[in-house]
Each structure stands twice: as structure tokens, then as C-alpha cells.
């Protein structure tokens, strides 16, 4: 997976593009997991690996969203 190594070194435009790529990968993994479960063709180890990848992507997405969202001091 192409995880962002250091978000502070990337500009906002690059982060927005990466965010969309990671969101699409997250959706693809979700669809793959659902298909394997519904068809019963996936073994539990494969499904667990896909779920872990999906969680890592979710964490990366959250980090990028935090970086792109400006801090608001109220």
C-alpha cells in the first residue's frame, strides 16, 4: 500500500488526490469482502487480511482529512 510517509511534506493538492485514491481503494476492499462473504468463496484468513488492509486505509484517510481540515479556534 502506498501510505503517506510524511503528510507534512505534501501540499494540499497532492493530499486531495491521494485521499480520493485511498477512498476508492477502501470502497474496492469493502466490495471484495462483501462478495467473498456472500458467495462463501473466501477463507477466513483472506477475509481478515482484507479487513486489516481496509482498517489501515481508514486510518490513512482520517490522517489526511485531519491534515486538510483547518483548525478552528473558537
Tens of pLDDT, residues 11-53: 999 999 999 999 999 999 999 999 999 998 889 999 999 999 9
Map residue 63 onto helix, strand or coil. Answer: helix
Phi, psi angles (nearest 5°) of residue 71: -75, 135
What CA–CA distance (Å, rounded) separates 27 from 58?
10
Banded model confidence at residue 4, pLDDT cuts 50, 70, 90: low
Smallest Cα–Cα separation from 33: which of 53, 45, 52, 51?
51
Cβ pair 60, 4 in contact under 8 A: yes
Amino acid at each position: 500500500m502506498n501510505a503517506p510517509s510524511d503528510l507534512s511534506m505534501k501540499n494540499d493538492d497532492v493530499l486531495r488526490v491521494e485521499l480520493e485514491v485511498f477512498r476508492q481503494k477502501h470502497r474496492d476492499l469493502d466490495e471484495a469482502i462483501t462478495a467473498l462473504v456472500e458467495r462463501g468463496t473466501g477463507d477466513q484468513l483472506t477475509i481478515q487480511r482484507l479487513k486489516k488492509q481496509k482498517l489501515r486505509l481508514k486510518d490513512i484517510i482520517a490522517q489526511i482529512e485531519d491534515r486538510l481540515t483547518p483548525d478552528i479556534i473558537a
